[in-house]
Amino acid sequence: MLQRNQIPPSVDLRNRPAELPSLAETFDAFVTYLLRQYWVILGTAGLCLFGGICYLMTAAPSYTALATMIIDTRKFQAFQQQSPANDVPVDSSAVESQVEILKSENVALAVIRDLKLNEDPEFIGSRAGAAGAVLDFVSGLFAGSAPPNEFDRTRRAVRAFQKQLDVRRRGMTYVIEVSFRSLDPERAAQIANAVADAYIVDQLDSKYQATRRASAWLQDRIKELRTQASNAERAVLDYKKTNNIVTSSGKLLNEQQLGELNTQLVHVKSQVTDAKAKLDRIEAVVKGGVPDATVADTLNNQVITKLRSQYLELANREADWSSRYGYNHLAAVNLRNQMREIQSSIIDELKRLAESYKSDYAIAVQRQNEIERAVNDSVSQSQSTNQAQVTLRELESSAQTYRSLYDNFLQRYMENVQQQSFPVSEARVITRASRPLSKSHPQTLVVLALSTLGGLIAGLGLGVLRDLYDRVFRTAEMVETILDADCVAIVPRVSPSQLKAPAAGRPNLPVGPRTIRRGDEPVLWAAIDAPFSRFSEAIRSIKVNADLNVTKPSKILGLTSALPNEGKSTLAFVFAQLVAQSGARVLLVDCDLRNPSLSRKVAANAERGILDVLSNNATLQDTLWRDPETGLAFLPGATRSRIAHSHEVLASDQMKDFIDAVRGHYDYVIVDFPPLTPVVDVRITAHFVDSFVFIVEWGKTQVQVVERALRSARAVNENLLGVVLNKADIAAMSRYSGYGGKNYYYNSHYGRYGYTD
């Protein structure tokens, strides 16, 4: 018998911190999603494509005509005063506003009236094609049989017109594209041009109306301003007359007089200053007795000039004689006496000039006093006038304001009169619409592409919804993530074609009365008949995980599930067979007392079972059934009648004593328990079971059912060895797995190890 080696447990990958998936992992997950839901995606895309084809076959073709306009503010406005502001182009918001005006109902009504579109079946309800007929029929049912009146036809025409009209701005330019779609190409071009013309006419009319209203308002305002200006000017004149305010050349008369007096006063003061200076100078000369002192007026006085010439001549002679004959010579003395006489005469003449200077000074001072008195009188008079002038300025300012407003409004009025007779629109048509050569709707390639793309997107969405509502276990990762438990094995579904014939020599094995014989279910011997199959390898992994459990011994293994028919009894028998085939002593006990299906399959003729052993009505050796090929010992759960309180049997001391007794005689005791959801038997078996193996049917058992079952059986969850995904579709798992998809499950090199399906 092989010995079990206790190997340290590997690293628990579930407790590692979550990491963001790499690009390769994301791509791999997307590919597996496509493989998983490809038929939904392709089916939805096919349906949408079929719908697009049906639409193309039933939709009536329509044609689109295009006219282009430009919003130009640089055009010459006749009879208007040009200004730099007229050359500034309109901004983006102004162009967008014109686009909305083109889409407005006012333009639509103008075109409908001009072309009588409210009588055209295309605009008042009749539609072409099969789809149009259906829509007309449905509309007729809801609208009644009464014929529409003029208002109803117009409203229908407006709605249809605005739906088929498209106005757009071309990029960031001032060019506007006006396109119209119609069933008739000629009609489309006619309406597109009519829209452009109606817009221009609407602009002209709006400007004319605005100018007319402005002219009427200006005319009334001009009359009012004319009256106000006249009253203000009349008030100015009356105030001047009342306060004796006289102006000359725009200035007050007293202000002019005061200015002239100030000028005279300054001049007189200058004269007084000059006269005083001359008087002081000559008085200083006379007082000093210096005959040859310089005074301005002495230079022009002939008497003083002549006396000075004589004085100089005598001085020269006196100097000559004194040098010749001596200073005290009589002739020199006579000459000096003559010089003194001439000097005295000069002084007398200077005194006479001083008297004249004194007279001039007195006259200048008197004139200055007179002018100062006149200035004071004028200032006192100007002060009283200035106080009245404050009010006068207010009256003049008011009169000037009214006059300026009157002139401006009169000029605006004349300009508006000129504009009213010659309005110009800022918009013009640069390309008129012509008859389109091909249909614009429906576009075959666009419809097919959009329907296919929409189908693919809808298919992807439906696939995501199917994944979200697919709340069953598909992969080991789901088990470990949701249940926080190890997935110890993924057991594939075994089809009848995969089952092999029994090995040669089996018929020669001894057969006794309590010998397990092959029945109608060959899957119970699938692992023995095909030891290298995927099915057998998955069963072996359960034993490996039980042997590697170092936290506690796993000699007593209990197999259970959440719901019936998940294959737990089959797995219990096959697992026990494989362990027994390896040479271990194995006892398989059927403890599903309510429904001993395993006993009915492998020991249908058993008359005694575990209840007889527990009640000491039979010994264990007399009750066991054996497999002659593997040596497996099987204790059936045969009962003569259904037991209501089966959980009390499993919770009894006799059951625990029985397990303790067989623990020493067998290497493994495998117990087939009932499912957790229908009965409560398994919840009270933890006192004698080492570990539990939980069986989940792949792709069928709901996640919430398993979670609820494990929460209700806390003892099972705490002693859980692992979870086994049973009846797995390996080919389908490749579309759910994140381990490289199909290559992980169907690797061509597995055959080198004898691996078969």
Tens digit of each residue's pLDDT (9 = 90 or more) over 567-608: 899 999 999 999 998 889 999 999 988 888 888 888 888 888
**Rg of the chain over all Cα atoms, to the nearest angstrom:** 65
Do 448 and 555 lie in one domain? The reply is no
Phi first, then psi: what are they for 452, rounded to 5°?
-65, -45
Q: Quick check: 569 and 602 in contact, CB under 8 A?
A: no
Do 69 and 26 lie in one domain? The reply is no
Cα dihedral 662, 664, 670, 671 sign: positive
Percent of the chain, pLDDT > 70?
A: 79
Q: Give start and end residues of each alpha helix (H) in 422-499.
A: 444-469, 476-483
Look at residue 446 and tell me if it is in a domain. yes
9 pLDDT higher than 50: no
User: Which range is most confident: 355-364, 549-558, 669-678?
Assistant: 669-678
Rounded to an integer, what distance in angstroms lies between the CA atom of residue 561 and that of residue 724? 10
Do 197 and 276 lie in one domain? The reply is no
Do 457 and 565 lie in one domain? The reply is no
Confidence of residue 68 (pLDDT cuts 50, 70, 90): very high
Q: How far is CA 612 from the centre of its chain?
A: 77
Helix (H) or strand (E) holding 46: helix 23-58
Q: Quick check: 381 and 257 in contact, CB under 8 A?
A: no
Do 487 and 465 lie in one domain? The reply is no
Rounded to an integer, what distance in angstroms lies between the CA atom of residue 725 and that of residue 538? 10
242 pLDDT higher than 90: no
Question: Which two three-digit tokens encode residue 635?
Answer: 């204790």
Q: What is the pLDDT of residue 85?
A: 39
Going by C-alpha positions, the residue among 414, 398, 409, 396 that lies closest to residue 225 is 409
Tokens 């919003």 belong to 71
Question: Which two three-digit tokens encode residue 262?
Answer: 């100030």
Query: Average pLDDT of 504-511?
Result: 51
Do 614 and 486 lie in one domain? The reply is yes
Look at residue 245 and tell me if it is in a domain. no
Cβ neighbours of residue 111 under 8 Å, at least 6 residues apart?
117, 161, 191, 194, 195, 198
CATH code, 120: 3.30.1890
Higher pLDDT residue, 78 or 664? 664
Q: What is the pLDDT of residue 204?
A: 83
Do 630 and 569 lie in one domain? The reply is yes
Do 121 and 81 lie in one domain? The reply is yes
Task: State pLDDT tens for residues 424-460.
Answer: 677 888 889 888 888 878 888 888 899 999 989 998 8
66 pLDDT higher than 70: yes
Return the C-alpha torsion angle 702, 707, 708, 713, nearest 10.
130
Question: Which two three-digit tokens encode residue 684?
Answer: 């009270």
Strand order in the sheet with 720-728: 487-492, 720-728, 691-697, 556-561, 668-672, 586-590, 633-635, 625-626
Cα dihedral 108, 114, 115, 121 sign: positive
Task: State pLDDT tens for residues 674-688.
Answer: 999 888 888 888 888
Q: What is the pLDDT of residue 753?
A: 58
Look at residue 7 and tell me if it is in a domain. no
Look at residue 226 and tell me if it is in a domain. no
Q: How far apart are the first and last CA of the chain?
A: 28
Look at residue 228 and tell me if it is in a domain. no
Task: State pLDDT tens for residues 627-655.
Answer: 888 889 999 986 666 677 888 888 888 99
Rounded to an integer, what distance in angstroms lies between the CA atom of residue 202 and that of residue 103? 12
Q: Quick check: 563 and 514 in contact, CB under 8 A?
A: no
Higher pLDDT residue, 3 or 526? 526
Query: Average pLDDT of 163-173?
Result: 89
Q: What is the pLDDT of residue 2?
A: 41
Which of the residue ranges 93-102, 133-142, 149-158 would you say has the lowest mean pLDDT? 133-142
Query: Average pLDDT of 106-116?
Result: 90
| Domains identified in the chain, total number | 4
Percent of the chain, pLDDT > 90?
A: 13
Going by C-alpha positions, the residue among 620, 619, 571 that lies closest to residue 597 is 571
Confidence of residue 18 (pLDDT cuts 50, 70, 90): low
65 three-state secondary structure? strand
547 pLDDT higher than 50: yes
67 three-state secondary structure? strand
Confidence of residue 423 (pLDDT cuts 50, 70, 90): low
Do 257 and 177 lie in one domain? The reply is no
Do 595 and 665 lie in one domain? The reply is yes
For residue 449, give its domain range: 13-58+442-469
User: Which range is most confident: 39-48, 324-333, 406-415, 546-555?
Assistant: 39-48
What is the CB-side half-sphere exposure of residue 445 using CA atoms within 13 A? 1
248 pLDDT higher than 90: no
Q: How far is CA 170 from the centre of its chain?
A: 25
Cβ neighbours of residue 437 under 8 Å, at least 6 residues apart?
185
Tokens 């039979």 belong to 618
Look at residue 109 and tell me if it is in a domain. yes
Which of the residue ranges 165-179, 292-306, 386-400 would you say has the lowest mean pLDDT? 292-306
754 pLDDT higher than 60: no
Question: Which two three-digit tokens encode residue 192?
Answer: 């597109």
Look at residue 270 and tell me if it is in a domain. yes
Q: What is the pLDDT of residue 13?
A: 44
Look at residue 346 and tell me if it is in a domain. yes
Exposure pattern of 552-573 as b/e (b: 16+ CB <10 Å)?
eebbbbbbbbbbbebbbbbbbb
Query: Average pLDDT of 287-304?
Result: 61
Going by C-alpha positions, the residue among 413, 420, 410 that lies closest to residue 209 is 420
Which of the residue ranges 112-121, 249-258, 356-365 would you say has the lowest mean pLDDT? 249-258
Do 455 and 561 lie in one domain? The reply is no
Instruction: Look over the chain and give the mean of its residue pLDDT values, rounded to a whole number.
Output: 78
Rounded to an integer, what distance in angstroms lies between the CA atom of residue 345 and that of residue 343? 5
106 pLDDT higher than 60: yes
Do 743 and 595 lie in one domain? The reply is yes
